[in-house]
Structure formats: structure tokens, C-alpha cells
């Protein structure tokens, strides 16, 4: 693994920038074959046409940008030929030829769980992702995700808030952050975890990059947990890739009326394991963790929360809500309360964390108060 530029690292950077040349071609050429410097100096006649054409005028300016990036603190290039390359990632049909890393590279050798989901989750979904991530990170697992808005960001932040470790696989070069609103989060991950990308410096967030990112995320992890996902969500791609790689797939169920639960329900129908707590995930992963020589940290038993008695009207409205999204008008009809009274109670319940509001003027009950 290179943390400072070298001729061989520079040659790898040049080859990784070859357009139209996939990982399988580079891996076949470089794993157990000739050094990258020799490929550049004496291109074999057997090279694919696209690679031969590229090597007539390789992207040295781009490779030089990569090498300047490697000169910076805590930046590394991990090649598939390096001893520290993750064994789980090697099992993929087309593992990345090399990874750019920013942060602590030792995290790649520790057990990871990917947590993914919608970019536009419900308030409850975002909170669930943070709670699961916090529990699993406090147990010693590395929480991996994709640095996207929504569930990804909540998972990363939940792990960090629990003083745990988190890893982000990105769909751009590591010299940029996408989305830009997650810049502070990316900084915190780099300081307390690891940023990973197979894309060279300057790579923009092209749509085709994210399925490639997802395969790395699934490949690095023992399992993938989907928190909220619509039926066409990219998170289902990550889950499918995890299943194809022989990894565990977990899904958290939701309301049958919630469109963001339908992707999770589809996964469960297809064989994903339904989980309701972080402990369920640890129990399912126990054989794999034992095989890896990993023992989850023992966590102190959580004390039962003690809440102040709830106002009877607040309790009546909360009971009338059930656990499916509901509108103010529906609550007026169910309770007989005036519309202004319902709106006032909902505001107070939301401030207390008992209710969340969502687009379309709907409200959802959150299960966080003792019965």
C-alpha cells in the first residue's frame, strides 16, 4: 500500500484512468503478471485495443494529480496485489483493481455491516438508521455506508455519535465530496474512520459510478441492512449484490401503507432476514463473527426509561393514530377533537419525540415512550 508517490503507484494511477478498460482486464494483467511500470514501458501485444490506444497518450496529468493527493496526510493507494487488500472484496467477480483511501486503512480488516436506504427517508426511518448504527458501532462493528443523504448519512452519524467507527464508500474521487452538504460529515468520517473510492481524483458523481460503489460496499461487508427503501431504490441493488456475493441481507419492516417500506418488504419476501433490533443483527452474524475471531463488545443493559405521565388527551390522540401515517383531518374524525386542538397536540407530541411529520401533511407515531 502506497502512502507516498512511487513510480509503480504512478503507473497504477495511469492504468486506472484508461477509459473503457474494466477491472477484470487490469486485474488479469497485473495480478501475478508484470509490474505496471513495465506495462507502460513495454505494452504487451495481447493488450485490448482500447488499452493499447490509451497507452499511446496516457493521462499523465491526471495521474500526477493522484500522486499529489497521495502526498497528503492519511491518503493511501491500496492495490489488489497488496497484502492488506480485503479478502472479502477479492471474492467479487470483478473486484476493484485499487482503492484510494483517506483515513485509517486498518478499518478494512475489521468486520463491517453496510447500512443503506432511502435518500429521502421518513423522520422515523432516519432515527432508526441512527439507532441501529449506534448500537452496532458500540458493539465493535464497522458501520459502512455510501455517504448519501438520508439513511446513509444517519447511519454514519449514528456510529460517530456512539464513539464507534464508520467507513464511507463514495462514487467520486476522494478530492471531492458528494453531496456537498455532507462535507462536514465526510471530514468527521476521515478523522474517525475511513473514506474509500475506486475512482481517481477529479472523478465527478456520474450516475454509473454509484452501482460500482454499491458493489464495493456490499463486497466489504459481512451483511447489508436496508432500513427504508422504495421498490426502485438503489439500496435494493446493494442488497442484491450482497446476496449474490453470499453475504447476509437484513431488512427492517414498516407500515404496509408506507411506500418507503415496500422495498424492505420485497426483500423479506425474497429471503432477507427481518430484524427489529441491532441485537437481532448481531445474533444472525454471530457464526461469521466467531469465524473471524471477533467478539462483539458487551454493552450495558439499557435502563428502562421513565417518562412523566402523559396528558390524557395526548394519550387519546396518540392511541387514535395507530402506527400508520395519518392526517389531521383523520385524527379529528377519530377523536372528535377540534382541528385546532389536534394541531396543537400534534405539535407538542412532535417536540417530545412521540410523533414525526412528513410530506403531505401526514403524521406518524414513534415508539419511544414506555407503555
How would you write 13-73 as a 3-class SS string? Answer: HHHHCCCCCCHHHHHHHHCCCCCHHHHHHCCCCCCCHHHHHHHHCCCHHHHHHHHHHHCCC
DSSP string spanning 106-154? GGGGS-EEEEE--SS--HHHHHHHHHHHHHHHHTTPEEEE---TTHHHH
H helix intervals, 170-272:
183-192, 209-220, 234-244, 262-269
Domains of the chain, each with CATH number or no CATH:
7-98 (no CATH), 106-291 (3.40.50.450), 312-365 (1.10.10.10)
Task: Return the pLDDT at 32.
Answer: 78
DSSP letter, residue 105: G
Here the cell at position 289 is 463473527
Between strands 223-226 and 112-116, the pairing is: parallel
Task: Return the pLDDT at 324.
Answer: 83
User: Which residues contact residue 192 at a Cβ distance below 8 angstroms, ignoring those fewer than 6 apart?
Assistant: 160, 165, 166
pLDDT in tens, the chain (371 residues): 655 558 999 999 999 999 989 999 999 999 977 899 999 999 988 899 999 999 999 999 999 999 999 999 999 999 999 999 999 999 999 999 999 999 999 999 999 999 999 999 988 899 999 999 999 999 999 999 999 999 999 999 999 999 999 999 999 999 999 999 999 999 999 999 999 999 999 999 999 999 999 999 999 999 999 999 999 888 999 999 999 999 999 999 988 888 899 999 999 999 999 999 999 999 999 999 988 888 887 554 444 444 567 888 898 998 898 888 889 999 999 999 999 999 989 988 887 888 888 767 888 888 754 33
Task: Return the pLDDT at 19.
Answer: 93
Residue located via cell numbers 407503555: 371
Residues 80 and 31 sit within 8 Å (Cβ to Cβ): yes
ω before 98 within 30° of 0 (cis)?
A: no
Instruction: Please give the Cα distance from 42 to 12 (Å, whole number).
Output: 15
Task: Return the pLDDT at 132.
Answer: 97
Question: What are the backbone dihedrals phi and psi of residue 98, each rounded to the nearest 5 degrees, phi first?
Answer: -155, 160
Amino acid at each position: 500500500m502506497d502512502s507516498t508517490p512511487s513510480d509503480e503507484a504512478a503507473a497504477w494511477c495511469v492504468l486506472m484512468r484508461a477509459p473503457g478498460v474494466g477491472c477484470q482486464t487490469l486485474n488479469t494483467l497485473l495480478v501475478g503478471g508484470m509490474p505496471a511500470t513495465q506495462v507502460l514501458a513495454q505494452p504487451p501485444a495481447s493488450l485490448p485495443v482500447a488499452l493499447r490506444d490509451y497507452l499511446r497518450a496516457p493521462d499523465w496529468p491526471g495521474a500526477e494529480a493522484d500522486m499529489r493527493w497521495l502526498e497528503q496526510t492519511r491518503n493511501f493507494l491500496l492495490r489488489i496485489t497488496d497484502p492488506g487488500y480485503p479478502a472479502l472484496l477479492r471474492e467479487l467477480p470483478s473486484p476493484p483493481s485499487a482503492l484510494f483511501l483517506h483515513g485509517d486503512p486498518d478499518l478494512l480488516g475489521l468486520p463491517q455491516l453496510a447500512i443503506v436506504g432511502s435518500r429521502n427517508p421518513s423522520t422515523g426511518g432516519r432515527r432508526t438508521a441512527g439507532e441501529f448504527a449506534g448500537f452496532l458501532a458500540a458493539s465493535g462493528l464497522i458501520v459502512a455506508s455510501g455517504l448519501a443523504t438520508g439513511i446513509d448519512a444517519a447511519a454514519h452519524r449514528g456510529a460517530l455519535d456512539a464513539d464507534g467507527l464508520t467507513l464511507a464508500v463514495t462514487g467520486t474521487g476522494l478530492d471531492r465530496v458528494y453531496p456537498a452538504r455532507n462535507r462536514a460529515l465526510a471530514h468527521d468520517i476521515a478523522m474517525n474512520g475511513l473514506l474509500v473510492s475506486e475512482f481517481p481524483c477529479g472523478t465527478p458523481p456520474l450516475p454509473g459510478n454509484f452501482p460500482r460503489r454499491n458493489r464495493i460496499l456490499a463486497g466489504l461487508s459481512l451483511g447489508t441492512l436496508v432500513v427504508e427503501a422504495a421498490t426502485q431504490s438503489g439500496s435494493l441493488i446493494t442488497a442484491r449484490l450482497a446476496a449474490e456475493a453470499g453475504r447476509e441481507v437484513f431488512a427492517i419492516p414498516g407500515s404496509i401503507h408506507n411506500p418507503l417500506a415496500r422495498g424492505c418488504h420485497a426483500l423479506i419476501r425474497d429471503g432477507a432476514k427481518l430484524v427489529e433490533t441491532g441485537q437481532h443483527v448481531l445474533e444472525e452474524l454471530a457464526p461469521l463473527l466467531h469465524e473471524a475471531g471477533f467478539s462483539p463488545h458487551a454493552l450495558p443493559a439499557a435502563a428502562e426509561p421513565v417518562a412523566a405521565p402523559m396528558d390524557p388527551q395526548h394519550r387519546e390522540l396518540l392511541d387514535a393514530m395507530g402506527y400508520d401515517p395519518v392526517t389531521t383531518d383523520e385524527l379529528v374524525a377519530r377523536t372528535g377533537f377540534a382541528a385546532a386542538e389536534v394541531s396543537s397536540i400534534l405539535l407538542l407530541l412532535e417536540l417530545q419525540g412521540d410523533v414525526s411529520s412528513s410530506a403531505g401533511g401526514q403524521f406518524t407515531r414513534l415508539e419511544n415512550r414506555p407503555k
